[in-house]
Amino acid sequence: MTTEEILDQLPYGKPFLFVDELLHVNENGAKGTYTYAKDLAFYMGHFKNHPVTPAVILTETMAQIGLVCLGIYLLKGIGTDQNISIAMTSNAVDFLKPVAPGEQVTVTSEKVYFRFNKLSCKVKMENAAGEVVCKGNISGMLIPKENG
């Protein structure tokens, strides 16, 4: 499965798609990038005159790249043709540096385990300078959707 095929299967659309490019994915993890456009709506009220990307959006970006993209890859690797939904079940993330409007980030995930339809990953997000802006663990359940 190619990175483009994985991106095509993501269940998100603009303005809630936080993956620009999937650089690498294999059975052990994923790596991708996203640039936060300066005109995203949440910047308008998130700290007047000094906007930063909300932690929930940083977490969502890590989940989309590090958990969902990897989950799609892993499911296709075991031969499932089912339409799958992936829901975050838990996260524990440390936020170390702010991410400003216009910044590009790189997310790297490392699979901790994948069993009983639950995927758990160690994730980190770095800015363009290579500094870790947040890191932690994110888990999710892979849920088959009914066809019809």
**Residue with tokens 């989940």, as numbered in its chain:** 63
From 46, 76, 97, 122, the catalytic residue: 46
Q: How many CB atoms are closer than 10 A to CB 119?
A: 24
CA 56 to CA 91: how far, in whole Å? 11
Q: Which long-range contacts (CB under 8 A, 24 or more apart) does 2-7 make?
A: 6/69, 6/72, 6/73, 7/69
The two tokens of residue 47 are 């700290």
Alpha carbon 98 to chain centroid, angstroms: 18
29-35, strands of its sheet edge to edge:
21-26, 29-35, 104-115, 118-127, 132-144, 84-95
- Whether 46 is catalytic is yes
Residues annotated as catalytic (active site), given as ranges = 46
